A and B are shown apart, each in its own frame.
Chain A
Amino acid sequence: SAVISQKPSRDICQRGTSLTIQCQVDSQVTMMFWYRQQPGQSLTLIATANQGSEATYESGFVIDKFPISRPNLTFSTLTVSNMSPEDSSIYLCSVEWSQGAGELFFGEGSRLTVL
């Protein structure tokens, strides 16, 4: 299995600021994803973080708002830019475990509150 460290675990941010979330995996993985989960809701895929190239964004998410970096096979960052209260949510990093049946492992999540 993969162990995923995410930080920060939580933060309170001011409107208009940006915050970068880091995701570190204890082994090399090909597929990394970023999800958003609003309290009491399901998970929504933001983007697939591609190593060495631009991330692939889902409908409704754009690079200017959620820039993603993936410098190597064990690390990725997600930035939430120019935050508004609507961005208050839990952001989860996940990886596909290629040595299994394709299951996802998730980080513990980063809970952001925007005031």
Chain B
Amino acid sequence: QQPVQSPQAVILREGEDAVINCSSSKALYSVHWYRQKHGEAPVFLMILLKGGEQKGHEKISASFNEKKQQSSLYLTASQLSYSGTYFCGTESWDTGTASKLTFGTGTRLQVTL
């Protein structure tokens, strides 16, 4: 089953904050976050490996709640360059030794002036 992301879409003004959520029905081993701009390949943002882990990347950070099988991506003081579609990618404990991701439904984010 594909992880569900919320919201599906969000429009922000430059400088505003946003939270994107990723929820899975499976027990998760790790969560990745990627951003894809229109017509381009997805670009890796960060990976969270442990339950409760939080990581940061410039003004973008994320948390992973292993118990709730959820992850959230936090974008603070958004910039125009943050526009794009954000995908979480999850690795579940039942996928065996080969690491492969199941991507979420996606969240389209647009930052305006």
Contacts and interface: CB of A to CB of B under 8 A. Distances in A.
Interface of A: 31, 33, 35, 41-45, 48, 56, 92, 96, 101-109
Interface string B10-48: 000000000000000000001010100000111110010
A108 B42 CA distance: 9
Contacts of A92: 41-42
B6 interface: no
B87 A45 contact: no
Interface in B96-113: 98-106
Nearest to A101: B47
A56 B49 CA distance: 24
B89 interface: yes
B99 A31 contact: yes
Interface of B: 2, 30, 32, 34, 40-44, 47, 49, 87, 89, 98-106
Given A42-B2, A42-B106, A104 B32 contact: yes
Contact of B89 (A41, A101, A104): A104
B28 to A, nearest CB: 14
Contacts, number: 46
Given A56-B98, A104-B44, 11 more contacts: A31-B98, A42-B103, A44-B103, A48-B100, A96-B99, A102-B99, A103-B44, A104-B34, A108-B40, A108-B41, A109-B41
Contacts of B104: 42
Given A101-B47, A107-B41, A43 B32 contact: no
B100 A33 contact: yes
A92 B101 CA distance: 14
B4 to A, nearest CB: 11
Nearest to B104: A42
